[in-house]
Amino acid sequence: MARSVILNTLATLRMTTGIKVIFEDQYILVLEKPPGLVVDNSKTQKENTLEEILRKEFGININRGGIVHRIDKDTSGLLVVAKTVEAFENLQAQFKDRTVKKEYLALVHGNIEKGGIVEGAIGRNPGNREKFTVMESGKEAVTEYEPKSKYQVSSIKYQVWFPDFNKIQIRKLEKMDYGSFTLLRCFPHTGRTHQIRVHLKYIGHPVVSDEKYAGRKMYRLDRRWCPRQFLHASRIGFKHPVSGEWMEFESKMPEDLKKALWIISSHNLQ
């Protein structure tokens, strides 16, 4: 990881419309995507996307603006972009062969004592085409996870978070143990759409402030103190598409998620 330390220093030298470039050479660039930015152009959105920025401001005019893999709109963190067709094809092959190592940080509901692996095929939810779900007819998906930190917020603090709630509503929060959270390190072995979010929901531990998968009521509660889904692409490792050198990069937790974590840490009973 010594290489990552040097590259993180370079990240402060170039900022473009909120895009922080961690590493760049003539073949690839590694950047930090801010939350709220759509990655790919689509029929409904062809402006204000990362793909558009890469074409217009970085001059990358190959397929998909050189974007090799995706992260969700409200997820922050590391993305690898190719600047040549050859680099694009090489990196795509690495993702297909599952030799790329990815790590995400996710704050989820509930207490997870030990790590595990979720193996559940993922497909588009027939009842809501904007969502995905675990289903037999879906595509293979595997996510490994391990707990990093656990938090238990005192029920007394609910009145601080939700000053407009009455006693009955507070008791409901206590009954559902709303104040129990776990910070996870997640390692997706495959790259399905919404994979980590769907798998964590599947095992009963949805990501905090996940509008699609946490449930409407839980999402509204979460948004009181966490401004967006707590998911961050924190590490990535791959072989340079030309030199073959193994490269690893790390992205620190952004300030909005740090603040949300501080809120529950300051109320932590453990």
The residues assigned a catalytic role are 72
DSSP at 157: G
Q: Any idea which residue has 């998911």 for tokens? A: 231
Task: Look at phi and psi of residue 51 and say left if phi exceeds 0, alpha if psi is from -120 to 50, else beta.
Answer: alpha
* Separation between Cα atoms, residue 140 and residue 190, nearest integer Å: 8
The C-alpha torsion from 69 through 82 and 185 to 205, rounded to 10°, is: -20
* Separation between Cα atoms, residue 106 and residue 86, nearest integer Å: 33
Which amino acid type is present at position 259? K
Long-range contacts of 51-58 (CB under 8 A, 24+ apart): 53/16, 53/17, 53/19, 54/81, 57/16, 57/17, 58/16, 58/29, 58/83
* Separation between Cα atoms, residue 88 and residue 95, nearest integer Å: 11
* CA separation, residue 230 to residues 82, 96, 108 (Å): 27, 27, 8
Which amino acid type is present at position 38? V
* Separation between Cα atoms, residue 59 and residue 69, nearest integer Å: 19
DSSP at 207: B
Contact criterion met (CB below 8 Å) for 66 and 85: no
